[in-house]
Homo-oligomer: A and B are copies of this chain.
């Protein structure tokens, strides 16, 4: 099995993964709570209520994900997820400097200060050892990975809202246009369409 690199996020119809000043999450994440299938995470207090379609999508994502690559901003914002990411997988944090008190015994967080390529390489090892794939966080990290030719598939949970501004899925993207193939899968949830696309880099043509 070749370990692949995926990125995915809930995105508004106008292309934003968060609205102006970090708003809009109530709209973007409606689908995590609008169904009747209860889905647990490694955090006892964090459960979702998904439709059957969205639950299948979620389970597939969890099953495939062997390691995450995230930026320092998200790590700080979530307080390092209290030392344990809800997906229960190793997390590689791209950062300029290792935060105080980290790494910690037993907490599967890794810190890479040499950029996204090194971070993805480490995440590939961690995920590959489990026969799974790497998921990189949408936003700056996904953009850097896309520009570096590292992203194999893009998952978009397309939400019917217009946010009018905020953070794009691939902010400040250079080297465009990037062509994708697909969608290679489409699943219609409630207030969300789960779409997956394959990235086609010039080298593939």
Contacts and interface: CB of A to CB of B under 8 A. Distances in A.
Given A156-B13, A180-B13, A173 B164 contact: yes
Q: Number of contact residues on A: which range applies?
A: 35 or more
Contacts of A156: 13
Copies of this protein chain in the complex: 2
A183 B160 contact: yes
A87 interface: no
Interface string A154-179: 10101011111100111001111111
A185 B126 CA distance: 41
Contact of A165 (B176, B178, B179, B197): B176
B193 A195 contact: yes
Contacts of A173: 14, 162, 164-165
Contact of A160 (B16, B170, B181): B181
Interface of A: 12-16, 19-20, 23-24, 27, 146, 154, 156, 158, 160-165, 168-170, 173-183, 186, 188, 193, 195, 197
Those 8 A-B pairs whose CB atoms lie nearest each other, nearest first:
A164-B176, A15-B15, A160-B180, A164-B173, A162-B178, A14-B15, A160-B197, A161-B177
